[in-house]
Structure 1
Amino acid sequence: MCRGCEKNLPSNSFIAENDADNDQVVVDFHDFYDFFAHNYNLFECAIHDKDEQENSENLEFKVSCIVNVNILEGNPKDQVYRIIEIISDIDEYTW
């Protein structure tokens, strides 16, 4: 339901079409932990491989996806905190 006009609209009415999103994977929230952990592990393996080589560059971890948060309860701020909590658990970093 749109909170602005109080009409029942399909969820795709709230999703903006953006060419920048064309290369992003859509991940359901219940799969987000596995998706992020898999990509983070690949990154750590790449760092390990680079450390074994001379003149290794500093690597930067980047992952981009669209998270389907339809199953999350709470307001958007609470949803963001839940996503941050998952990322913090995986990379052992406190945001």
Structure 2
Amino acid sequence: MKTAVEISLYPLQDNYIDIIKWFIGRLDAYPELERKTNGMSTQIQGDHNAIMTILSDEMANAYQKWGRGVFVCKFIPGGVNLDHSE
């Protein structure tokens, strides 16, 4: 099953932009993900099980490397057109 996820990361550190860029770079290491980013969030899309494993691993990596932070995620089963704008 395909799933889309909208992710917002709020690092609890002063260098938050560097941390957000680091996390997006980590997601880019997975060729099975489709990714789009805008000024408010990052959207990824792919196989549901792969996405859940990737997010679990990379969120844990972020906490281990950077400490506390907040992830806000919206999950959309079936996926969406990430290029859609209105």
TM-score by length of structure 1 reads: 0.28
> Which structure would you say has the larger Rg?
1
In terms of fraction of residues, the more strand-rich structure is 2
In terms of fraction of residues, the more helix-rich structure is 1
TM-score by length of structure 2 reads: 0.30
**Greater relative CO, 1 or 2 (CA 8 Å, sep 6+):** 2
